[in-house]
Structure 1
Amino acid sequence: MLTVVIQAGGRSARLWQDKGLIPLGGKPMIEHVIRRVEGLGDELMITTPCPQAYARFTARLVSDPELHAGPLVGLQTALRAASHRTVLVLACDMPFVERELLEYMLSIATQADVVVPQHNGWYEPLQAVYSRRCLPAIEGAIASGEKRVVSFFPRVRVLTVGRPILDQLDPRGLSFFNVNTEDDLVRAESLLAAESSAIDPSRDL
């Protein structure tokens, strides 16, 4: 049993609006993430400081306790609220997540407390699988003043997914492309248009 959580962290300082609701290809950005994980879990949940803004989506809405509490508290909120022991956590601003990669991580989730990609030398903790067993370690890290998601990793069993698995399951290298700036949004529109044309070549006629 699996809970899929999409974290919508509220207003972006650089894009001046709630990232999950920014139009991309004529749809809110979070809708692209939802489409890519459709049917993957038994529960779909959106965590956000503004649940009313996401009422249009067919998902369980969970309010973050604080707007600026940081991503570690956001993860704590997600794991506490999840109905199932295994939780796939995704960011709302990564619209090109590769489903095959997610399915692979889920297939090995029983081997560790955290399954997380390591891309270009960095963990990608907002596209990772967590066990609710992580909660005591997360709460301990928060009590110590930590805000980074990875700060509790030394206290749990972590399984990393790196190359060549990432090259095989995410050959375009776009799973971890996130939209932070206007330039990123322009690139995302271009990538989405190219993706749509590849699916339906008649769109270019």
Structure 2
Amino acid sequence: MSITGIILAGGHSSRMGENKALLQIGGKTVIERIANQLASMSSEMIIVANNQEEYQFLGLPMVSDQWKEKGPLAGIHAGLTASNTLKNLIVACDMPFISTELGKILLKKLDTHQAAVPEIEGRLHPLYAAYRKDTKEAAEQALRDNRLRIREFLHDINASIMKGDELKRMGFLYEQAHFFNMNLPDEYQMALKMAAEKGKHPK
């Protein structure tokens, strides 16, 4: 089945002080690392970015938020609107160590649900999650109503919240690195250390 990988690169990176998607880890930018991982799971890819010039070097299709300054939900909506496939895997641009194994589990869950979102140790991760294209309308309605919390949007659709215990039962042994995201300079330094210790990103 055709799958679209959608990278959300629309944030301001204000806490980092520079574009976190373009920071280098192991000789590649974070967004390149993500794109490489998504390429093994998807037949198409889309970058959602409001400053598109910065990502021209990737050679990938790009779209901008239709709803400006509305946060990640607007990015999800823009990506799903542009997608040509039923199944979509959405990733934030600041997650350098995503797991392809987890991505495939989330996508498989879309056979029975409109979305599949991991929840690890009580924390929801809607920006490394799978969404069917038919959730676009619910996202648009939430944006119209100015209900911008993704957790609320997930209540509007048939979403499977996949907790750590369920993932373990399915044979996926997650690591904290799989959900690590960088917002602060200290977190970037931590990511560099994690990459050096691993030698490569976790499977």
Regarding TM over 0.5, the answer is: yes
Residue in 1 that maps onto 2:36: 35
Contact 1:23 1:29 in 2 (8 A): yes
- Pairwise CA distance, 1:159: 0.8
Residue in 1 that maps onto 2:77: 76
Alpha carbon RMSD of aligned pairs, Å? Answer: 1.9
Residue in 1 that maps onto 2:196: 193
Distance 1:3 1:177 in 2: 22
Residue 187 of structure 2 is aligned to residue 184 of structure 1: yes
- Pairwise CA distance, 1:26: 2.9
Contact 1:98 1:175 in 2 (8 A): yes
The aligned runs of 1:30-69 (5 Å cut-off) are: 30-65=31-66, 68-69=69-70
Any gaps of 5 or more consecutive residues in structure 1? 200-205
Any gaps of 5 or more consecutive residues in structure 2? none
Q: Secondary structure at the match of 1:111?
A: coil
Residue in 1 that maps onto 2:90: 89
Residue in 2 that maps onto 1:139: 140
Equivalent pairs, count = 199
Distance 2:5 2:201 in 1: 28
Residue in 1 that maps onto 2:107: 106
The aligned runs of 1:114-193 (5 Å cut-off) are: 114-167=115-168, 168-193=171-196
- Pairwise CA distance, 1:198: 9.6
Distance 1:182 1:4 in 2: 27
Contact 1:49 1:65 in 2 (8 A): no
Taking structure 1 as the reference length, what is the TM-score of the superposition? 0.89
- Pairwise CA distance, 1:27: 2.0
Q: Secondary structure at the match of 2:111?
A: helix
Contact 1:115 1:129 in 2 (8 A): yes
Q: Percent identity?
A: 28
